[in-house]
Amino acid sequence: MELRYPPTASPFAFRATVDSEPDEIVWDNNGDKVYYQMTNKKSVFFLSLAVMFLLFSSICNSVMDTLQFRFDNSVFARFEDRSYWDPDISWRNKWKDGDPTKGEKFLGSSTVLVFSTDAWHLFKSLCIYSMIGFAVAMSPGFASLAKDKKMSKKRTVLITTVVFIFLCLLYSGIFEFFFSQVWSR
């Protein structure tokens, strides 16, 4: 297989006759095909990014549960603005004068902009966005793994299952550490 890097291409791009499916094919200024194939470095980058999103999501989830279930025994009880941090009080921040019968405090304060009204909703939004980021970052990493012709389907399924179980345990472990150790007084 001949590899020639186009002068303006990224290090992940090469012109080649490839044995496996390229991730993307584009044409350069000369009309030649340029194949973009994901490399191991790029796979590791995306998988590492996915793990970072997962860790952040787990931490956000631990903040939510700490606020909801043991606010008074947490580091958050020390913060001055209890009306933002204490869910027993902060839920009122989305309503005019703290009264749901008077309607929203501002447009979207009980729906799309609820994350701006209190800590619990902020960390819930960050948790959800991090999980979406996790899913997006995992896609290219596993796509390149699945396209690897050297690896059998059975091995790919085994690796995917092991990674899934590992990430579930990692998420639970990080959550428990922050919930029981970091956020407790």
Residue in the structure block whose two tokens are 């909801």: 68
Residues 31 and 55 in one domain: no
Residues 51 and 4 in one domain: no
Cα 98 to the center of its chain, rounded Å: 33
Cα 12 to the center of its chain, rounded Å: 24
Q: What is the pTM of this model?
A: 0.65
Residues 50 and 134 in one domain: yes
Residues 143 and 171 in one domain: yes
Structure tokens at 117: 């009204």
Residues 31 and 45 in one domain: no
Residues 44 and 11 in one domain: no
Residues 8 and 76 in one domain: no
Cα 123 to the center of its chain, rounded Å: 13
Residues 30 and 88 in one domain: no
Question: Which residues, in sequence order, are CB contacts of 23 under 8 Å at separation 6+?
Answer: 36, 37, 38, 140, 143, 144, 147
| Cβ atoms of residues 15 and 32 within 8 Å | yes
Residues 26 and 46 in one domain: no
How many folded domains does the chain comprise?
2
CA dihedral 170, 136, 122, 180 (to 10 degrees): 0
- Residue ranges of the alpha helices (H) in 29-118? 40-70, 82-85, 87-90
Residues 132 and 111 in one domain: yes
Residues 74 and 113 in one domain: yes
Q: Parallel, antiparallel, or unpaired for β 24-27 and 13-14?
A: unpaired
Residue in the structure block whose two tokens are 């579930």: 168
Cα 102 to the center of its chain, rounded Å: 36
Write out the residue range of the structural domain in which residue 68 sits: 40-182
Per-residue pLDDT of the chain (185 residues; tens, 9 = 90+): 444 444 444 444 444 334 445 455 555 556 665 545 555 677 778 888 889 999 999 999 999 999 999 999 999 999 999 999 999 999 999 999 999 999 999 998 988 888 999 999 999 999 999 998 888 888 766 666 656 666 677 877 787 778 778 887 888 888 888 887 888 77
Residues 125 and 178 in one domain: yes
Q: What does the alpha-carbon distance between residue 100 and residue 98 come to, in Å, rounded to a whole number?
A: 7
Q: Which helix (H) or strand (E) holds 100?
A: none
